[in-house]
Every structure is written in structure tokens, then in C-alpha cells.
Amino acid sequence: MSTAEITTGAATPPPAPGGNRPGGGPFGKGTPLRRITVAAAYLAVVLLAWQLYVTLADVPSYLLPDPLSVGDALWRLASSGELWPHLGYTVRNIAVGLGAGIVIGSLLGWVIASFRTVRLILAPYVVILQAAPKIALAPLLVLWFGLGLGSQLALIVMLAFFPMMIAMMLGLGEVTDDQRALGRVLNLGPARFFRLVQLPTALPALFAGARIAVIDAMTGAFLAEYISAQQGLGFLMVQGRSTYDTPQLIAAVVLTVVVGLTGFALVSLVERRALPWRR
């Protein structure tokens, strides 16, 4: 079982900053009803294939349980009330970590894009950090921040700030020379130029970054819980594994993906609202 595999799978739609239009969504365009139908049909096909495979290949349930028993495990967790504190814990951590990651990443991206000296000092670290498998740093974080909430949030922030930083740098780069000249003709100071020109220009890229950051935050939360937590969806997975309750293990993974996709959908929704001029 590898969390990386699951999350890279979920993170596959990496919207190219600037290029991708909001509203495309993973299930294409159309009326909401139509899109939901398409999504549901897609899900049904996947579940059916899964069920068929398990039945036909006669896979033992401790290796891969069939969808029904996973559903059963989900229902058990939900109806016993055991699920909610775990779900709430993970969602809260994702929200807090993502929020901090967005703020820190955007600020850092702005500083790097705006100040030459900072860029010269930080650029090598940016490249190294980009190349490093950030997940491999998780044990190091546990070492630094202990086994508690601190290291968990640190991991989430570390994963989430990065796409935001890159997005801000790319987004600010989209300001044209003419727009800069316009700012000077109108005598906009740096603050007003940022608010009136730079930020709106960077916004599409920032939203694209946020969509990736949501998924990365989910990876971080799950991974952190997997390593160290006593609570959360990652913990449910660990618990499922150690009690040989594979359906619970899969249920926890499925829930995490659902949380990630919900976050993704929320960002897309806000994006559609915030960027009417891009439709």
C-alpha cells in the first residue's frame, strides 16, 4: 500500500497556470445535472469493474475486498459514530495547513518575484526543494516537531505552500510591459499596482496552484497521520491494517480521496465565482 500512489493518481489534473480555463472540471462541461450523471456513471463503471475483477479472479478479501464490503465498512464507521472525529480531524488539519500554505506560498512567491536579491539568495533552495521528494522529509519533520500536531501541520504546509509559491511567481510574470507602463502613467504606487494589476493578473495562476495545493495538503495530512497520529483518516487506515481489516483500510483511503476531491471542487467553485472574465 502506498499513499503516494493514491495521491498522485488524484492529483493528475495539474492545470497549467494560465492555460486552463475554470469550469472544465474533471468531468467536462455541460449542465450540472448532466455532469453529475456522467460522474455517477463513471463511478458505477469503476465499481462494477472492481467487483467483477474480485469475483472473477477470486481475490482473497484480505488483499482486495470487494466494493460492497468496503461500503459496509464505511457504513459501520459512520453509523457507530467512530468516523466523524477522525474525518473532522483530518479535514480541519487540511484546512488549517492549506490556509497557512496558501498564505506562506503566495507571500514567498511574491517576495521572490519582486526582489532580485531575494531571488538570487532563495532560487537555489527553491530548485533543490522542487527536486527533493518532499514526502521523504516527513520523518525529519517528526524528528524536529515531535509526534504531535506540530509535525503534521508542518508537513501539510510544506507540501501545500510549494505550488502556491510557483503559481505566484508565474502569475506575477504574466504582467505585461504595457500594463506596467500604464501603472506608471497613472502613477500607481507599489501597493496600488499590486492590488489593481499584479494580483488580478496572478489570480488565475493562483487558483490553478490552489487546486494542486489542495491535493498536496490532502497527501500531507494523510501521510502525517499515517506516520504519527492517534486520530484522523490516516490513523483509521493504520488501524485497519494492523487489525487485518482491509475493508476499513480501503474505506479510509477512499474517504481521503473524497475529501481531496471535495476540496478540489470547492476551489474550482470559488474560482468560477472569482474569475467571471475567464469564462
Q: Given the rule CB under 8 A, which of 132-140, 163-171, 185-193, 239-247 is the region that contacts other proteins?
A: 185-193
Distance (Å, whole) CA 51 – CA 24: 30
Per CB under 8 A, the list member of 36, 44, 127, 181 interacting with other proteins is 181
Does 5 contact other proteins by CB under 8 A? Answer: no
Residue 30 grid coordinates: 455541460
- What is the pattern of x (binds other proteins, CB under 8 A) and - over residues 201-220? x-x-----------------
Residue 196 interacts with other proteins (CB under 8 A): yes or no? yes
Q: For 107-163, give the DSSP string.
A: HHHHHHHH-HHHHHHHHHHHHHHHHS-GGGGHHHHHHHH-SSHHHHHHHHHHHHHHH
**Whole-angstrom distance, CA of residue 13 vs CA of residue 87:** 25
Asked if residue 182 lies in contact with residue 198, where contact means CB atoms within 8 angstroms, the answer is no
Give the SS3 label for residue 181.
helix
Q: Considering only 8-16, 26-34, 86-94, 180-188, which stretch makes contact with other proteins by CB under 8 A?
A: 180-188
Residue 178 Cβ vs other proteins, minimum distance, rounded to whole Å: 4
Measured CA to CA, the distance from residue 51 to residue 45 in angstroms comes to 10
Q: Which of positions 223-242 make contact with other proteins (CB under 8 A)?
A: none
Site for other proteins in 247-276 (CB under 8 A): 275-276
Region 118-177 residues binding other proteins, contact defined as CB under 8 A: 176
Report if residue 37 touches other proteins, rule: CB under 8 A: no
Cα dist. 121→94, 107, 112, 125 in Å? Answer: 30, 16, 9, 8
For the bound state, the minimum distance from the C-beta of residue 265 to other proteins, rounded and expressed in Å, comes to 23
Question: What is the 8-class DSSP label of residue 202?
Answer: H
The backbone torsions φ and ψ at residue 3, rounded to the nearest 5 degrees and listed phi first, read -65, -35
Q: Which is nearer to other proteins, 56 or 191 (CB)?
A: 191
Residue 185 found at the interface with other proteins (CB under 8 A): yes
Stretch that binds other proteins, among 106-114, 119-127, 161-169, 192-200 (CB under 8 A): 192-200
Question: Between 161 and 193, whose beta carbon lies closer to other proteins?
Answer: 193
Residue 18 binds other proteins (CB under 8 A): no
If DSSP codes are grouped into helix, strand and coil, which group holds residue 58?
Answer: coil
Chain residues that interact with other proteins, rule: CB under 8 A = 176, 178-179, 181-182, 184-188, 192, 196-197, 200-201, 203, 275-277
